[in-house]
Amino acid sequence: MKKVSKEPSPSNENEAVQVAPAEQKVTIIRNVKIEEVPIGKITPDPDQPRSSFDQGEMEEMARSIVTTKGVINPIEIDENFMIITGEKRWRATKLAGLPTITAKIVGNISAEQRFMRQVIENVQNHEMSFVDQAKAFDKILRQRQETLSSEDYLRGEQSAGNLPARIGEKFGKTKDQGVGWLAQMIGKSPSYVEERRSYITERSEEFKKSAESGKVYVKFHRAIKTTPEKYKEAVEKKVLKNEFKTVDEAMTLVRALKREGENTPAAKQLMDIDYSRFDGLPEVTDAVSKISPPPSEILKQSVEPRQKITKISRDLRDWVMTNPEEGIKGEAARVRSEMETIRDSVRMWFGDITFLANEGNDNQPNRNG
């Protein structure tokens, strides 16, 4: 059997090879040069997705770089000495006062490849804010859709024999608009990507400006996103009016709206409350529970019918054991009569058990219906 060498074939420093199926091309640069490059010769990428750097973290990294006499993991730069990945390491090295930094000089890299590498590194190192990730994911997915819709792109793929029969499946032009593809590329779940991208596509400009200026906590987006559709805009307005001090307070309202369903008197009552008058989560929870008791409260209220059912069952068992000749006709009539008197309570109890099992499911039944 012929052995296949794993050594790269001779090539110049800019040679690139395409790997992976046609529907997911990845460009690997071979024979990348690694050099000590003067700090002042390198420039940051103005289009990189990360918008801020923590000064404290940078100073800590600078002290580490002084100790190790340089960075352990080289940064990546292009042939024009513009940073691809590793801007934080470059800044920290500059802060440490070192004259040079170890860098991989990468040739033949497109703007899209550069941006994707920057996103992957920052997401995996937990270096990007929620808003930066949201903007980056939206940019990548919009560019992808534009590319996939390009007639020139499709003709080129067809000529190369790469165009699959079911283009919708192969190229990500499906309902998720490439979310699954991007999630795989960055090593995260589709829900992780969708939650952040929906911040761009679903929230109002007023909310985004408030979140990015620090007037509103950006993670209120999560509460608004899970709100029943009819109330999303109204809940967002409550957030912008600073009615909620924490996301948990907003989620208390959202969960109650899910329980009550749309267009119910209880839901209207919940939306009419000005939550800014309450002092913290316990008071918000108490106010909401009075209008829409959570399942745990309802189950407490159902103790009495459960006790009655248990007592009737035991009475029936005891009677049958002591009166085997007479059968159970008479006792069955008595049991039926008593059961009918607590029928409504029993229905409420079983209904709430079903409801409790569906807690957290956006499609849970409306217990008022």
Tell me, yes or no, whether 1 lies in a domain.
Answer: no
Last residue of some domain: 169, 200, 231? 200
Q: Are residues 282 and 221 in the same domain?
A: yes
| Domain span holding position 325 | 298-357
Does 193 map to a domain?
yes
* Average pLDDT score, the chain: 78
Give the number of domains in the chain. Answer: 4
Residues 182 and 211 in one domain: no
Tokens of 353: 């058990």
Q: Is residue 84 part of a domain?
A: yes
- The model's pLDDT over 350-361, given as tens digits with 9 standing for 90+, comes to 444 433 334 444
Q: Are residues 35 and 67 in the same domain?
A: yes
Q: For the beta carbon of residue 283, count every other beta carbon within 10 angstroms.
A: 13
326 in any annotated domain: yes
Express each pLDDT in 131-190 by its tens digit. 999 999 999 999 888 877 766 655 655 555 554 444 444 444 444 568 888 999 999 999
Whether the CB-CB separation of 168 and 191 falls below 8 Å is answered with: no
User: What are the strands, taking DSSP E only, across 216-295?
Assistant: none
In a domain, 176, yes or no: yes
Same domain, 283 and 304: no
Give the single-character DSSP code of 210: H
Flag whether 196 is in a domain. Answer: yes
Q: Is 366 inside any structural domain?
A: no
In a domain, 124, yes or no: no
- Write down which residue in 200, 224, 248 finishes a domain: 200
Which of 268, 292, 316 finishes a domain?
A: 292
Residues 335 and 275 in one domain: no
Question: Scanning the structure block, which residue is given the tokens 């929906």?
Answer: 198
pLDDT above 90: residue 238: yes
Tell whether 78 and 144 lie within a shared domain.
no
Q: What's 35's domain CATH number?
A: 3.90.1530.10
- Residue (of 258, 254, 263, 256) closest to 236 by Cα position: 254
Residue 29 has pLDDT above 70, yes or no: no
Q: Which amino acid is it at 287?
A: A
Strands 75-78 and 100-106: parallel
